[in-house]
Amino acid sequence: MPIAVFSLLLVVFSLTTGEFVIVGILPDVSGDLSVSISAAGMLATAYALGMIVGGPTVTVMTARIARKRLIIGLVAVSVAGNLGSAVAPNYGLLLGARFVAGLVVATFFAVAITTAVSMAPAGKQASTVAKLTLGMNLGIILGTPMGTFIGQNLGWRATFVAIAAVSVTGLLLVLRFLPAQPATATGSVFAELRVFADRDVRLAITLTAAGNVGIMTVFVFITPLLTDISGFSSDAVPVLLLVYGAGAVIGNFLGGWLADRSLMPSLTGLLSVLAGTLALFWLVSGVQVFAAVLTFVIGVLAFAIIPGMQTRVLATATAAPTLAIAVNASGFQVAAAFAAWLGGRVIDHDALGLRSIYLVGAGLTLVGLTIAVYSMRRDRVLVSQP
């Protein structure tokens, strides 16, 4: 892996850890600031809202800034947000600091992808995206438990200091190894926004949201699914989440490799297999051996679809790729929020219940598959036209 790409990966790792680590330190934050667990949970929502709002707005506002300078500025804001979280004297200021930390994440991820892809050899764009996505994988399966451990032993404020320190380390590597690149936009804001007039761009972004919402609905409730339906003890859940994470790392690189060779056919194939696997999980979820194996398999498939989806957005939004990727990241967060809401409604429904989450996830994935098939056929029609 080129050191320039690694420097970006390290920052992605720190930003992803910053998003998810709050889950592990919620009781500590709640007790220290004398707020309820549900109120402390809003700290995760504040970060996500920052990403949703910041994705399009920050990207448009910074489109004319040279890429390396912009990356430095975005990471600096993230570091300030995490240090602000570490020293926040009360819940209100902590909530605001979390929002600020999340505000630049979607834009950073978009700039990091477009910058890394611009340095990639021909035919290796999706594999390069997969290398950056590895930072997300590691943030979830390594960064979050490490941050939780730090918080439990040194206090929750130390967790945010550690995240800021990792971001600064990545920033120092960016300063040293990332080559300077010009801004991606030279025209007006309205010229950038016109990229969304393209139907293929809109389809690509919709594909990301629809293709991921099914597996996210399952993942949000994976712990009660494994304990209440499959019968695992609560002590086994961390191990099973590591199994899921191991599958995610493998799937990430597998998806990049497949997308480099055949983008849309590989995406449609992976979504088909994912829908079928979720339906199979519903069928055999009461058998622990099968549940453990399928936890690994859905980890592989959940992250195998991501490099191809990001590459599809890049391929369709050549006029404003950074803005499109940023909006794509914001759309992903909206889909995650919808997945949590929908899953809760399904669980509360008397005729459905917890186990049916698997079937709902499969059905939602089929919606994404339908969009992928339509996009692929549309591509073939456009190519065949004189």
pLDDT of the chain, 386 residues: tens digit per residue: 689 889 999 999 999 898 878 867 877 888 899 888 767 778 877 888 888 888 888 888 888 888 899 999 999 999 999 999 999 999 999 999 999 999 999 899 889 988 888 888 877 888 888 888 888 888 877 888 888 889 888 999 999 999 999 999 999 999 999 888 776 655 556 666 777 788 999 999 999 999 999 998 888 788 788 888 999 987 887 788 788 888 988 998 899 999 989 999 999 999 999 999 999 999 999 999 999 999 999 999 999 999 899 889 988 888 788 888 888 888 887 887 788 778 878 887 767 788 999 999 999 999 999 999 999 998 888 766 65
User: Where is the domain boundary, 145, 176, 207?
Assistant: 176
Instruction: Give dist(CA 332, CA 260) in Å, integer.
Output: 22
Query: How does DSSP assign 190-222, residue by residue?
Result: HHHHGGGGSHHHHHHHHHHHHHHHHHHHHHHTH
Q: Which domain holds residue 40?
A: 3-176
Is 326 contained in some domain? Answer: yes
CA 16, distance to chain mean position in Å, is 8
Single out the residue of 263, 347, 274 nearest to residue 313, CA to CA. 263
Mark whether 94 and 132 lie in a shared domain: yes
Tell me, what CATH number does 283's domain have? 1.20.1250.20
Q: Say how far residue 69 (Cα) sits from the centre of its chain.
A: 24
Residues 133 and 94 in one domain: yes
Same domain, 168 and 206: no
Q: 164 and 40, same structural domain?
A: yes
Give the pLDDT of residue 192: 67
Does the residue 83 lie in any domain?
A: yes
Nearest C-alpha neighbor of 336 from the set 250, 214, 223:
214
Give yes or no for a contact between 103 and 77, defined as CB atoms under 8 angstroms apart. Answer: yes
CA dihedral 362, 364, 370, 371 (to 10 degrees): -140
The pair of three-digit structure tokens given for residue 358, joined into one six-digit string: 């698997």
Counting the structural domains of the chain, the total is: 2
Of 126, 150, 176, which residue constitutes the final position of a domain?
A: 176
- Can you give the pLDDT at residue 346? 85
Nearest to 109 by CA among 260, 321, 303, 339: 321
Q: Looking at the structure, do residues 30 and 117 belong to the same domain, yes or no?
A: yes
Question: Nearest Cα to 357, choosing from 343, 369, 368?
Answer: 343
Q: Which residues make Cβ contacts (< 8 Å) with residue 295, sequence separation at least 6?
A: 222, 226, 240, 243, 244, 247
**pLDDT of the residue at 101:** 93
241 shares its domain with 105: no
Question: What is the pLDDT, as a whole number, of residue 187?
Answer: 54
Q: What is the pLDDT of residue 186?
A: 52
The answer to whether residue 129 sits within a structural domain is yes
What was the pLDDT predicted at 161?
96
| Dihedral of alpha carbons 231, 233, 236, 241, sign | positive
Q: Are 206 and 355 members of one domain?
A: yes
Tell me which amino acid residue 245 is.
Answer: G
pLDDT of residue 360: 93
**What pLDDT score was predicted for residue 265?**
95
Instruction: Specify whether the CB–CB gap between 124 and 260 falls below 8 A.
Output: yes
Same-domain pairing of 130 and 238: no
Q: How does DSSP assign 322-365, residue by residue?
A: HHHHHHHHHHHHHHHHHHHHHHHHHHH-TTT-GGGHHHHHHHHH
Structure-token pair, residue 338: 């919808």
Q: What values do phi and psi take at 211, rounded to 5? A: -70, -25
The pLDDT value recorded for residue 284 is 95
Question: In this predicted structure, what is the pLDDT of residue 125?
Answer: 81
What pLDDT score does 293 carry? 96
Domain end position, chosen among 149, 176, 203? 176
